Amino acid sequence: MPKLCINIDHIATVREARKTIEPDPLLGAKLAIEGGANGITVHLREDRRHINDRDVLLLSQFLKSQPSLFTLEMAATDEMLSISSKIKPGLITLVPEKRQELTTEGGLNVTGQKQYLEKYLESLHKNNLMVSIFINADKEQIKTAKDIGADFIEIHTGPYTENPSEIELNKVKEAISYAKHLGLKTNAGHGLNYENIIPIARIQDIEQLHIGHSIISKSVMVGIKEAVREMKQLIKNI
């Protein structure tokens, strides 16, 4: 069964709508773990539109005894290299980032910036950080991620969630199989919800499922512990 990692960015989105102190992402993380979450994920964006530096610091302190539970998503920038090297989360996931986007729109183009990313991963590894790269279900991108030293990849499931067909599902399956063949550990995420999770959760060799918006949205209605429990039950019952 893949582990369920909850992305709590949108707890901070609600907070930032009023520029106040609530709801508190740290409390959300604690409740998510009580509900059965196997990990917490946050994306510290350049524009700090939701999660901010204080959130990341508090989460790292809360999970200090279990750093493997903490995944930090970030762009491959000098600023984020400095922050992650001090915070030392269990996993860094490198993602593309645009100021205008509502959410991450696609996987990182590893082949297009191979030399830069290879040096960037070297710097992360020197700080004893595990690195994942968020990429599309594309063999060339997966192979390049392996070549530059990634420990994990995270397959972008957006195309499947937007068009949940056998064709798109098979692309995800083939990508995960190919990554395993290369010796890469594989996570998956983006757009996963209570309606489309089961076919993805049934795929063998997925280490972690990173799910955020759907669970946080449901928690507004039923509470985060119940929202997490329901998603966990779906995954357990595959």
Among 43, 50, 156, 210, the active-site one is 43
* DSSP E strand boundaries for the chain: 3-7, 39-43, 70-74, 91-94, 131-135, 152-156, 185-189, 206-211
Could you confirm whether 73 is annotated as catalytic?
yes
Per the CB < 8 A criterion, the answer to whether 130 and 151 are in contact is: yes
The structure tokens listed for 30 are: 């604690």
Per the CB < 8 A criterion, the answer to whether 174 and 193 are in contact is: no
Whole-number Å distance between alpha carbons of 144 and 51: 30
Among 73, 97, 154, 168, the active-site one is 73
Could you confirm whether 156 is annotated as catalytic?
no
- List all residues 6 or more positions away from 111 whose beta carbon is below 8 Å from its beta carbon: 140, 141, 144
Could you confirm whether 190 is annotated as catalytic?
yes
Whole-number Å distance between alpha carbons of 96 and 165: 25
β-bridge mates for residue 207, sequence order: none
Burial class of residue 5 in the structure, from the number of CB atoms within 10 Å of its CB (0-12 exposed, 13-18 middle, 19+ buried): buried
Q: b/e for 132-142, b at 16 or more Cβ within 10 A?
A: bbbbbbbeebb
Among 10, 50, 156, 190, the active-site one is 190
A 10 A CB-CB count for 90 gives 17
- Residues known to be catalytic: 43, 73, 190
